[in-house]
Amino acid sequence: MITEGAYGRIFEVTVSGEIVWEYINPYFGNQNAPGESAFVARGEQNSVFRAFRYAPEVIAWL
């Protein structure tokens, strides 16, 4: 699983390099530094900070 944080993209690849699934964060907003009023980046961003991969048995209701 690979997280391209700045682009809001999370995807998983096989050993042979095939993309098995992909998610792009559809939510955009302005990026402010914590506690600051100045923007970190120009325009709206859809950055993703972190992603976790859970095994199916961890999420019983799926």
- Contact present, 30 and 36 (Cβ < 8 Å): no
CA atoms within 13 A on the CB side of 31: 16
pLDDT in tens, 10-26: 999 999 999 999 999 99
pLDDT score of 60 more than 90? no
Tokens linked to 56: 């199916």
* pLDDT beyond 70 at 38: no
Structurally, the chain folds into a number of domains equal to 1
Task: Quote the pTM value.
Answer: 0.68
State the residue range of the domain holding 23: 2-58
